[in-house]
Structure 1
Amino acid sequence: MKEFSIFLIVFCYSLISASAQSLEIDKMLGAESAKSVEAEMGIYNDDELTEYIASIGQRLVSHLDKSLFEYKFYVVDDPIPNAFATPGGYVYVTRGILSIIVNEDELACVMAHEIIHAQNRHSVKQMGNSILPKLLELPGRIVGQVINEDIGRILTAPIATSNSLLLASYSRSHEKEADEEGVTLASKAGYDPDAMKSILLRLSKSMEILTSQKETKGYFNDHPYTPDRLESITKTSVKLDWETKDKVSSNFPQPLNSLLFGVNPEKGLFEGNTFIHPTMNFSFQFPDDWHTENKPTSVNGMNKDQSAALFLGLDDASKSPQALAEEFIAGIEKEHGVKPIFSDHSKINNYDGYLVSYLDKSDKKQMYIHTLWLKMDGKIFKVIGIGPKSAKDELKRSVLSFHPLTEKEKSTIKKQLIRVVESKADEKFDQICKRYNCVISSELTAFINGMNPTSKLKEGTLVKLIVEESYFN
């Protein structure tokens, strides 16, 4: 699997000390990482917002003593508050962190921190969070081939998932260095270095809200404890002699108006265990109580005892379901000398398909592998079900559930957006939230604006609100 090999190359190179690397290695790793970020997380498509982020970034880079790279700046289509840099000068901020930033100074400090990580060539450790390791434990030689070769083609990045980037961590010394040199860089560009403290506090609180876990100080945590970081930043910022400069935007947070908040329906979404994809126009029901995950190239599920799994992805639309099935059968027969127990045309909700089933007897736990190719709306969907005989009915029900979206299903799909509005004189957050039908509480609305929920707002104060609209508007 090419992508798996790329991940191993990136991982191995990350173990090499920065002093032993040439800049060309950074650039090579950065270019590969950029492809992975785009494929696994997605770049947010908003030219004006991207230009705004890039303008701040280039302003910061212009104050480096010597820029090692041609820096590039992107907004990542991810709702989790985060920012990260990859080797070679690729700097990313997520939609999630933009939603909790309250001024340009905070944004500049966050970006300066990541620029320092890239500029000082700090190694990035990436960890996987996928059901693939457990899937690899399923028994059988044919099962192994299907997982490693066939499923491998629809799971383009089985280990380097978006979660691994969100969990990426640096050593304590690298984080301290990026904090101290980052606020120094921000101050040189005319930004308040103390803004790093306010965004760190809000970031810590937002992660508490998301995870329902309070941040604690732990000796073995890679990431420094926030209060310790604040103390270090204060010691640095008090020594800085800086002057404020005009901001890139004179009316922040206006550049964030219409920014998508939360899950992006365009990537598909789960409602319970029903997966709905509005842009690809299909719905698919996984069995109840299964663990599911939505990846860029496939939707996957596994039962609780990890004995059965389902994968849904796309295959070559230039070929017919039968042609793809015959290629698959020939590959299995060549490798294992085994023929399918079933192979024939199949119709699912009036759409033409081809179903191939195998019984893998190579292990004492006999496993069935069902693969269906289904042609719908000019696409070839591929469903792979693996499990023992006891899982047959569950797998069959899921496959039969596959269908184009109904008008009723389409009407249920919503998107949440940031709207920047002006407050009335002495208006409170509960009042402005009611006026605009906010979908998050007034307390959380105040939080993402860096204000007290009971504060009375001045007339004309720009406030970020989260509202809900129909996806198909």
Structure 2
Amino acid sequence: MKPFAVVGKTKIAILGALLAAASLQGCAINPATGQGNLVLMTENRELEIGKEEHEKVLASMRVMEDEALNAYVTEVGQRVAATSHRPDLEYTFTVIDSPEINAFALPGGYVYINRGLLLYLKSEDELAAVLAHEIGHITARHAIQQQARGRLANTAATVGGVVAAVATGSGYIGSELAQIGSIWAAAGVSGFGRENELEADSLGAEYLRNAGYNPRAMIDVLSVLKNQEDFNVRVAQRQPTYHGLFTTHPRNDIRLQQAVAQAGTVDDAQLRESDPSVFRQQIDGLPFGENTVRTGDRNRYYQDLLSYTMVFPDQWEIRETPTTVQASAADGSASIRVEAQRMQESKEPRLFIRENLGIEDLQRSEALSQYRLLGYTGTHTNESGHHERVAAIYLGPRVFVFRAQVTDPEKVDELDRLLLSSIRTFRAIQMNERAGSTGLQVRYVQVTTGFDWAALAARSPISQYPEETLRLLNGYYPIGTPEPGEWIKILQ
């Protein structure tokens, strides 16, 4: 028998070898920085996740239908991505029809920018800077690193409509993410922390320079976003939106200045000769605020009498009565029925399903929290022997009961995910939707001699903070006046 000390040393050596092997397996070289990172995922799996989550985004968030705008953003994004550390990825750029000032990225090459952020940018260089920052997150695999460290598990708690790190007064971002139900998208929107954000800025500035854009545009964009934060905190009493960024990422941050400076400068001969009128042409006429046009939003249903709306799966047939609506797949493989009932007593949605609907064997159950509405959902086998997803959501004095049935046993999982995604789009109709208003649009005009912000604000259709809003749109917040002949944005 070996002495105890020898046995102990042997065990320690074996344990050390196992830990070293595990470290080697989990450590991968960051393609952007050349440093080792803890990564527990192959690139192929990263690409698979990106594709899966991108499909969720497209199914759950409204995409701008302006083909020219999407083509323009894609052209700029591809130009920047081609100079990145991962140029061989198949990058996809998507403009989301959302008023929130935000952008985010998913693993594998998927970049999203909201219409609301586009409106506050002043040039193609600034657009390129936003896209370059998001590309930096992708090339450095920041989301994958967070997943390896277990941080995405914490993010999962925010999906479902809260998203506290980025929720605004309207809860708009939170409800968008609730529709997606994606911890990856939630992580992208809420940000990756100070170190990763600085790294994305540094990489983005490098990509800007390589593509012929001015790296200083990265700081210009952050000035735009910082002005928004200053206004929201001082006047509107709202929280920052873009990446929850400025709690760790101030505009005058020395490390930020150094990161951008390290990218180098671009002399006039190297700078792209982008035509400012091209950028103006793409922004001119875009909706400002909520886009309340009811057309083109997939298979969105409005129930004006009961004041709710939701999106049913594409091409499903919809039949309605004054208190119910049913949507069915053309092949009869699945259907969803929504019924409104007046609440007789106050109780949790979970208990309503158990006690009022008599369903006690729910599986895959979870609480719902979307658009400031509370609910509960789960699955069971109904009396007909079919898979059925049941949900109860409270809106005003009513409880809305969802009975979503799948009759094709070979597509249960696929169709159940589709039905749950549809249930997650349920919300109250907003006041401007009820009125059918198309809202305000951004228009460009040239400044004349004697221009005055107060005079322009007095003629503006904006009801709250008109001068501050116009200054923010044009990069003159809180002070400053444009020169005669300069193009500025107004709202009509």
Q: Same fold (TM over 0.5)?
A: yes
Distance 2:479 2:194 in 1: 37
2:486 match: 461
Query: What's the CA shift for 1:29?
Result: 0.9
Q: How does 1:325-336 map to 2 (within 5 A)?
A: none
1:421 match: 445
Distance 1:32 1:171 in 2: 25
Of residues 265, 288, 294 in structure 2, which corresponds to 1:241?
265
Between 60-69 and 440-449, the greater mean CA deviation after superposition: 60-69
SS at match of 1:253: helix
1:146 match: none
Matched, 1:259 2:286: yes
Q: Cα deviation per residue 1:92-150 (whole Å; 9 max; x = unaligned)?
A: 111111121122222211111111111121116444343699xxxxxxxxxxxxxxxxx
Q: Cα deviation per residue 1:152-198 (whole Å; 9 max; x = unaligned)?
A: xxx99574399936743213322121111111211222222222222
Unpaired runs of 5+ residues, structure 1, are 1-14, 134-154, 269-276, 287-292, 299-311, 329-352, 372-381, 400-404, 468-473
Query: What's the CA shift for 1:357?
Result: 11
2:114 match: 94
1:206 match: 228
Structure 1 residues 121 and 180: CA distance shift in structure 2, 3 A? same
SS at match of 1:247: coil
Matched, 1:444 2:469: yes
Task: Tell me if structure 1 keeps the 8 A contact 2:96–2:115.
Answer: yes
Structure 1 residues 222 and 263: CA distance shift in structure 2, 3 A? closer
Query: What's the CA shift for 1:395?
Result: 2.3
Amino acid at match of 2:274: K
SS at match of 1:91: strand
SS at match of 1:226: coil
Distance 1:365 1:65 in 2: 52
Task: Tell me if structure 2 keeps the 8 A contact 1:358–1:370.
Answer: no
1:307 match: none
Structure 1 residues 205 and 40: CA distance shift in structure 2, 3 A? farther
1:111 match: 131
- The aligned length equals 352
Matched, 1:231 2:258: no
2:405 match: none
Query: What's the CA shift for 1:363?
Result: 7.0
SS at match of 2:398: helix
SS at match of 1:100: coil
Task: Tell me if structure 2 keeps the 8 A contact 1:54–1:72.
Answer: yes
Query: What's the CA shift for 1:384?
Result: 6.8
1:62 match: 82
Structure 1 residues 313 and 182: CA distance shift in structure 2, 3 A? farther
Q: Cα deviation per residue 1:307-366 (whole Å; 9 max; x = unaligned)?
A: xxxxx99643469xxx979x99xxxxxxxxxxxxxxxxxxxxxxxx99899999x97998
SS at match of 1:227: coil
SS at match of 2:142: coil
Task: Tell me if structure 2 keeps the 8 A contact 1:367–1:386.
Answer: no
Matched, 1:130 2:160: yes
Task: Tell me if structure 1 keeps the 8 A contact 2:303–2:309.
Answer: no
Task: Tell me if structure 1 keeps the 8 A contact 2:392–2:400.
Answer: no
1:136 match: none
Query: What's the CA shift for 1:413?
Result: 2.9
Structure 1 residues 30 and 295: CA distance shift in structure 2, 3 A? farther
Distance 2:446 2:121 in 1: 17
Between 86-95 and 32-41, the greater mean CA deviation after superposition: 32-41
Query: What's the CA shift for 1:56?
Result: 1.0
Structure 1 residues 367 and 179: CA distance shift in structure 2, 3 A? same
| Seq. identity, % | 23
Matched, 1:191 2:191: no
Matched, 1:85 2:105: yes
Query: What's the CA shift for 1:21?
Result: 2.6
Task: Tell me if structure 2 keeps the 8 A contact 1:54–1:73.
Answer: yes
Task: Tell me if structure 1 keeps the 8 A contact 2:291–2:438.
Answer: no
Query: What's the CA shift for 1:75?
Result: 0.7
Structure 1 residues 426 and 104: CA distance shift in structure 2, 3 A? farther
Task: Tell me if structure 1 keeps the 8 A contact 2:198–2:259.
Answer: no
Task: Tell me if structure 1 keeps the 8 A contact 2:468–2:478.
Answer: yes
Of residues 161, 171, 176 in structure 1, which corresponds to 2:193?
171
1:71 match: 91
Distance 1:86 1:365 in 2: 36
2:367 match: none
Matched, 1:368 2:356: yes
Q: TM-score, normalised by structure 2?
A: 0.58
Distance 1:280 1:203 in 2: 35
1:394 match: 397
2:379 match: none
Task: Tell me if structure 2 keeps the 8 A contact 1:122–1:170.
Answer: yes
